[in-house]
Amino acid sequence: MSRIGGFTQPDASPEYFIKFLSFLDGQGSVKSIRAHAAQCLSLAAGHRVLDLGCGIGGATFPIADVVGPNGLAAGVDVSSAMIEAARERAAGRQGVEFHVGNATAIPFPDRFFDSARCERVFLYLPDRLAAIREMMRVVKPGGRICLVDTEIDSTAIYSTKPALTRKMTSLICASMPNGNSGRELPALARQAGLKGVQTDCFAITTPYEFFQRVAVGTVLKAAEDGLASTTEVEEWLTEQETLQERGEFFQMWLMVVASGTV
Ligand SMILES: C[S@@+](CC[C@H](N)C(=O)[O-])C[C@H]1O[C@@H](n2cnc3c(N)ncnc32)[C@H](O)[C@@H]1O
């Protein structure tokens, strides 16, 4: 079963990851966070904007709407499958393009972009400081950079078994390279040399169907690896199923947005 931690390279099971991203793209709360991130970038018609780790382009297309056909919204992602899906969605549209590339080797020249953004990618990167510095390389001096991440370690899930729930959410966090990335973004942005770093926080709630996508494969694998007992995992998943049947399921993610100037 595919797991959220597999976003380090989604090519192994693109269908899972495309569904995951499409679901979040449709959420009003995610659209609001993206609108806020766009404000942080001071976008204008004609600007060239990088969307690093763009996935299927959920945030790239709204940027293309603002910069227009004389600007450029460029998505870069390490996954060929995500880039292929994004290119299909672009279907010959002017002012938007997608490239396969790594966060620490962005396939663009120095000072090419007016601004750059990166959403829910730092969770997966081995060297986040190198990625911010690489974003700074391709953005003009005075240009804006905006980083968005989920604070996975702070996931809140309603349960009558809070200690068990804490254990399960900690296992999900530990399955990712940087599960604390949200809270670490502001410090990383400063350490990389961004000026005037501003931090804003948001909360999003997601339904049971999405919880299943995010959590089930990961906690089952944790049981397989001996990090939790099968009984504990089944007890937790069964409780969540029951809460859903009663209309009482609740999950919340905190999202952190850190922005600054090159
Ligand atoms: C959770 S998805 C977020 C996608 C998109 N930013 C969005 O908001 O919909 C994480 C993305 O980061 C990409 N990614 C992971 N490691 C990367 C790397 N080293 N360089 C570039 N992209 C990377 C994955 O392929 C995936 O598309």
Ligand 1 and 119: CB distance under 6 A: yes
Looking at the DSSP bridge assignments, the partners of residue 149 are 256
Task: Give pLDDT, residue 63.
Answer: 97
Task: Give pLDDT, residue 215.
Answer: 92
Residue type, 165: T
Ligand 1 and 178: CB distance under 6 A: no
**Closest atom, ligand 1, to C-alpha of 34:** 8
Give residue 113's region: left, alpha or beta (phi > 0; psi -120 to 50): beta
Say yes or no to pLDDT of 1 above 70. Answer: no
| CATH homologous superfamily for the domain 4-261 | Vaccinia Virus protein VP39 (3.40.50.150)
Ligand 1 and 7: CB distance under 6 A: yes
Looking at the DSSP bridge assignments, the partners of residue 113 are 139
Q: How far is the CA of 231 from the centre of ligand 1 (A)?
A: 34
- At 213-243, the pLDDT tens digits run 889 999 999 999 999 999 999 999 999 999 9
Say yes or no to pLDDT of 191 above 80. Answer: yes
Helix axes 60-67, 28-40, angle to 10 degrees: 50
| Size (the chain), residues | 262
Q: What is the pTM of this model?
A: 0.94
Ligand 1 and 8: CB distance under 6 A: yes
Task: Give pLDDT, residue 16.
Answer: 82
Mention every residue, 6+ apart, whose C-beta is less than 8 A from residue 172.
Answer: 4, 152, 155, 179, 214, 215, 218, 219
From CA 123, how far away is CA 180, in angstroms rounded? 8
- Coil, strand, or helix at residue 197? strand
